[in-house]
A = this chain, B = another copy of it.
Amino acid sequence: MRVLLTGSAGFIGSHLTERLLSDGHTVIGVDNYISGQPANTQLFLDHPRFSFIEADVSTNMPVVQEPLDWVLHFASPASPPHYQQHQIETLMVGAQGTQNALELASRHGAKFMLASTSEVYGDPKVHPQPESYWGHVNPNGLRSCYDEAKRYAEAITFAYHRSRGVDTRVIRIFNTYGPRMRADDGRVVTNLVNQALRGEALTVYGDGSQTRSFQYVTDLIEGIIRLMGVDFHEPVNLGNPDEYTILQFAEVIREAINPQLPVVFEPLPQDDPMQRKPDISRARELLGWAPSKSLHEGLGLTVAAFRQPQTAAPLDHTAGTTLASSTD
């Protein structure tokens, strides 16, 4: 089938492109490189079933002549330093970008998937978070340009489903890590791995007792592919319920790279969520899906990738599995 993927040059977009191509599909990637990386487009440019359009989907969604089976809307700055730097663009890609993608899907009679986020739960008062939880989000705090944009994106996706009959899917992606994360994305995984690889002290914000669930990227991609195969419109959490405190995580990384490195503590940023853990009952029942990569295994693959220049990563077009899992 033919798939248009916005945000194709992002971390997750690049892995989703790889998997779709390897499953035999045709991918039209779209990205404006606000936070996506040209190297992630370069990876696929020689592939006969991949094409790329550089465009801002908030203001200039490409007109596509060919039939489309799916529009997958994954475009958005997603890490705090990127969306803080691009507050208005982040808000726009949640609103105008999502609407343009829904209109494209509607015109083509294509199915539509929104990449939403665990950030719609904000600083949750329910733990773990099922999809039925309405969340606890500051509507005008420093994170609101991302959180509220994604909540709006869900609302307009449901509005197009209800009032225009678009066949929609909504995933809520929890913290995901793996090869091709941007080294400067400011996320805890990349920060700690980068610091450890440089032989620096590992920085932990707050006292490190806040928890995160860490999902390896190929687990997420598997959940996405499975959800494309079922007829289901409510949001679906995709994340790893294995929970680590930030401090535990720093220690796993330290042990993996250099046990001699010290840990230093800095103040928590405003509205930083204190804990986040998915309830994945819905994905288990609906898709028979659960994450399979352990943190230690995923971390090994990630550290290996971070030791090499990203553009040098080989791409096996013939394998049925993804790049990352083919290096197990």
Residue numbers in B under 8 Å from A145 (CB-CB): 155-156, 159
Report the minimal beta-carbon distance from A193 to chain B, rounded to whole angstroms: 30
* Chain B residue nearest in CB terms to A145: B159
Q: How many Å lie between the Cα of A164 and that of B89 in the bound state?
A: 13
Q: How many copies does the complex hold?
A: 2
Residues of B within 8 A of A239 (CB): none
Residues of chain B with a CB closer than 8 A to A137's CB? 134-135, 151
- A138-B134, A139-B134, A139-B154 are contacts. A160–B96 as well, Cβ < 8 Å? no
Task: Tell yes or no: A30 within 8 A of B by CB.
Answer: no
Cβ contact of A140, chosen from B87, B154, B164, cutoff 8 A: B154
Question: Is there a chain B Cβ closer than 8 Å to A45's Cβ?
Answer: no
A149 touches B140 (CB 8 A): no
**Bound CA–CA A163/B84 (angstroms):** 9
List which A157-199 residues lie within 8 A (CB) of chain B.
Answer: 157-160, 162-164, 170
Q: How far, in whole Å, are A117 and B27 apart by their CA atoms in the complex?
A: 42
Instruction: Render A78-95 as a binary contact track against B, CB cut-off 8 A, 1 for contact.
Output: 000000000110011011
Chain A residues 81 to 123 lying within 8 A of chain B, measured CB to CB, are 87-88, 91-92, 94-96, 99, 120, 122
Bound-state Cα–Cα, A152 to B160, Å: 18
CB distance from A78 to the nearest CB of B (A): 16
Alpha-carbon distance A219/B162, docked complex (angstroms): 37
Across-interface contacts of A159 in B (CB, < 8 A): 87-88, 91, 144-145
Q: Does A25 contact B (CB under 8 A)?
A: no
Do the beta carbons of B152 and A152 come within 8 Å of each other?
yes
Question: In the complex, are the beta carbons of A140 and B95 less than 8 A apart?
Answer: no
Chain B residues in 8 Å Cβ range of A155:
91, 139-140, 144-145, 147-149
In Å, the complex CA distance between A138 and B134 comes to: 5
Nearest residue in B to A233 (C-beta to C-beta)? B140
Cβ of A87 and Cβ of B162 under 8 Å apart?
yes
Assess A157 versus B134: contact at CB under 8 Å? Given A88-B163, A91-B152, A149-B152: no
Q: Is A47 an interface residue (CB 8 A)?
A: no
Residue in B closest to A152 when the chains form the complex, CB atoms: B152
Residues of B within 8 A of A88 (CB): 99, 156, 159-160, 163-164
User: How distant is the Cα of A139 from the Cα of B148 in the complex, in angstroms?
Assistant: 9
Q: How far is the CA of A163 from the CA of B145 in the complex (A)?
A: 11
Residues in B with CB closer than 8 Å to A235 are 140
Closest 6 CB pairs of A and B: A95-B95, A148-B155, A144-B155, A87-B159, A152-B152, A140-B158
Given contacts A136-B136, A140-B235, A151-B152, 20 further A-B contacts (CB under 8 A): A87-B159, A87-B162, A88-B99, A88-B160, A88-B164, A91-B99, A91-B155, A92-B99, A95-B152, A122-B134, A135-B139, A137-B151, A139-B151, A140-B155, A140-B158, A140-B170, A145-B156, A147-B155, A148-B151, A148-B152
Can you report 9 residue pairs joining A to B where beta carbons are below 8 Å apart?
A: A88-B164, A120-B139, A139-B154, A140-B154, A140-B155, A144-B158, A144-B159, A145-B156, A149-B155
